[in-house]
């Protein structure tokens, strides 16, 4: 899987396993998503679920989890140590592999809009997705809990939600959705029943009070254990590692005559964070991450060697042929199981390659760099489109009465629509870049640039048709509306590309754009 996004929603339920199970089961019902971790805490009265997978499948799971949580969790009867404002309290999207932070911001906005529009729950965007500076930090949104948020919403126009109604949902409250980098939820339990001790230590160690950078901390009363806790979020474990945060809490506890009872990590933790902590605790000299057995087994060199070892089938006529190299070999490899979108991505990649060639001749470094980036992404989209198409086929083969058929079909069609739409956007970017090279390029390479623009033109025309047809097949009308809203960005790019193209006409674009925008 080339693209992996992680989602770590927190739900205001830590005592009823049936409710948590109903929410978690949604992860298992959608292809392309894996459940990584789930925890429940009765004192915090909170559940944290971690799952990851293909971006738009993750987005669909996240929305469905919020829907079920809003039906099963009633904040009016909720009492727990952890501050909260919603049944689905917070829902961050985290880039893991093959996706950018901006991709996660777009997912957060898409899911937030659906929660607001379909579930009638006010949604506030935070961290990298925040629409206002005062909403970047989660603690600012949660300040004062539900009562504090209600007061701000009622008296300050700046605290209108990003999506949804301007009042809390009667039972589900509000939801915070955003995009952030990986963090570590790290708790230190103290042998004390005095909450003021944990609260005082939390104030000393957290960044907002002048403590450790990238550390958020609160004091929590663990009534079921007869202990208090310093509950921390480490938002940058490289700047403030686990052992540094622990040492700070331990030092402050000892100064108050209190011992540490133990520690815990909630959810998942990056391997590097544990290695750094072990290295410090064991005082290892000259330790390298590559000394970790699993890391070496998963290295590119090992995977390549394992691949050679597994290639033990007898030689046939094809396997005896000498290996191909270069662009032609790439086409031969990628042409297996091509789809319309993957052909479009390959064609647009060729258009970008022509531009890279001319940019190198003209020493147009910035243009060369951007076209190279576009080409790389287009090659990734070849496989992504094939995978999306395979998921559509898989969903369409389910029996009509299968309980998950509609959900799987909607999720897979969404991915199959997003890919050609991204190809359209990238192709729209290629055209003005190639057009700009014409002014300074030598006449003998003008045909190359013209060919590139014609290729991009054909790709745009074909992929717009795919977007239109996939949207017609999409059973979820709210997803159609969401795609239409995001299509407005591509629409302006189309207008700009049309005005700059060297070889008009582009009449077929216009009708496809109108058809897409008319879909409801």
Q: What pLDDT does 190 receive?
A: 96
Q: Which residues of the chain have pLDDT under 50?
A: 308-335, 502-507, 520
**What pLDDT score does 312 carry?**
38
Give one DSSP letter per residue of 123-175, joined into a string.
EEEEETT-SSGGGSSHHHHHTTHHHHHHHHHHH-GGG--SBS-SS-BTTTB-E
Written as six digits, the tokens of 182 are 């990986």
* Cα–Cα distance, 107 to 242 (Å, whole number): 30
What is the predicted pLDDT for the residue at 435?
87
**According to the model, what pLDDT value does residue 328 have?**
37
Task: List the alpha helices (DSSP H) in 207-339.
Answer: 242-255, 271-282, 293-297, 300-310, 327-334
What pLDDT is recorded for position 250?
96
Query: One of 44, 45, 78, 82 is an active-site residue; which one?
Result: 82
Predicted model pTM: 0.55
Angle of helix 365-396 relative to helix 340-362, nearest 10 degrees, comes to 170
Question: Which of 105, 104, 123, 103 is CA-nearest to residue 113?
Answer: 123
pLDDT at 196: 95
Strands 215-222 and 10-11, how do they pair? Answer: unpaired
Give the span between the Cα atoms of 503 and 422, in whole angstroms: 23
Domains of the chain in sequence order = 4-179 (3.30.990.10), 184-291 (3.30.70.670), 327-518 (1.20.120.680)
- Quick one: which H or E segment has residue 435? helix 405-438
Give per-residue pLDDT as tens, 258-309.
999 999 998 778 877 888 888 887 777 767 666 777 666 666 666 555 554 4
Give me the helices (H) in 211-270, please.
Answer: 242-255
Question: Looking at residue 314, what DSSP letter applies?
Answer: P
Active site residue 237: no
Q: What is the pLDDT of residue 204?
A: 96
């Amino acid at each position: 899987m080339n693209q992996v996004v992680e989602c770590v929603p927190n739900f205001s339920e830590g005592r009823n396993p049936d409710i948590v199970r109903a929410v978690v089961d949604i992860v298992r019902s959608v292809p392309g998503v894996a459940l990584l971790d789930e925890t429940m805490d009765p004192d915090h009265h909170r559940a944290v679920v971690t799952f990851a997978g293909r971006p738009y499948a993750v987005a669909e799971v996240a929305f469905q989890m919020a829907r079920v949580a809003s039906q099963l969790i009633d904040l009016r009867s909720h009492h727990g140590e952890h501050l909260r404002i919603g049944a689905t309290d917070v829902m961050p999207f985290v880039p893991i592999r093959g996706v950018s932070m901006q991709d996660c911001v777009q997912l957060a906005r898409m899911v937030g809009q659906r929660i607001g529009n379909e579930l009638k729950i006010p949604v506030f965007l935070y961290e990298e997705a925040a629409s206002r500076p005062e909403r970047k930090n989660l603690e600012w949104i949660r300040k004062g809990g539900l009562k504090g948020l209600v007061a701000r919403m009622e008296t300050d126009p700046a605290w209108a939600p990003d999506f949804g109604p301007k009042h809390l949902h009667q039972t589900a409250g509000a939801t915070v959705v955003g995009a952030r980098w990986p963090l570590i939820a790290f708790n230190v339990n103290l042998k004390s029943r005095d909450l003021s001790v944990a609260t005082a230590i939390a104030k000393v160690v957290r960044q907002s009070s002048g403590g450790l950078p990238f550390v958020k901390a609160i004091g929590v009363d663990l009534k079921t254990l007869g202990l208090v806790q310093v509950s921390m979020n480490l938002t940058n474990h490289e700047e403030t590692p686990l052992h540094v945060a622990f040492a700070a809490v331990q030092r402050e506890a000892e100064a108050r005559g209190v011992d540490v009872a133990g520690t815990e990590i909630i959810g998942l933790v990056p391997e590097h964070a544990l290695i750094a902590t072990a290295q410090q605790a064991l005082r290892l000299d000259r330790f390298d991450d590559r000394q970790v057995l699993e890391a070496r087994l998963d290295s590119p060199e090992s995977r390549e060697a394992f691949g050679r070892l597994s290639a033990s089938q007898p030689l046939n006529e094809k396997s005896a042929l000498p290996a191909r190299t270069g662009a032609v070999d790439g086409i031969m490899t990628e042409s297996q199981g091509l789809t319309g979108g993957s052909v479009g991505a390959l064609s647009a990649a060729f258009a970008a390659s022509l531009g890279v060639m001319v940019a190198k001749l003209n020493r147009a470094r910035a243009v060369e760099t951007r076209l190279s980036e576009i080409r790389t992404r287009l090659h990734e989209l070849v496989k992504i489109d094939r995978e999306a198409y395979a998921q559509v086929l898989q969903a369409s083969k389910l029996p009509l009465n299968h309980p998950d058929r509609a959900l799987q079909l909607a999720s897979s069609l969404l991915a199959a629509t997003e890919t050609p739409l991204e190809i359209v956007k990238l192709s729209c970017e290629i055209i003005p870049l190639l057009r700009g090279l014409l002014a300074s390029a030598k006449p003998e390479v003008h045909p190359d640039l013209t060919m590139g623009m014609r290729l991009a033109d054909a790709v745009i025309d074909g992929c717009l048709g795919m977007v239109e047809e996939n949207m017609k097949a999409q059973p979820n009308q709210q997803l159609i509306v969401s795609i239409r809203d995001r299509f407005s960005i591509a629409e302006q790019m189309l207008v700009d590309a049309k005005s700059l193209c060297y070889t008009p006409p582009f009449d077929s674009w216009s009708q496809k754009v109108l058809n897409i925008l008319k879909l409801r």
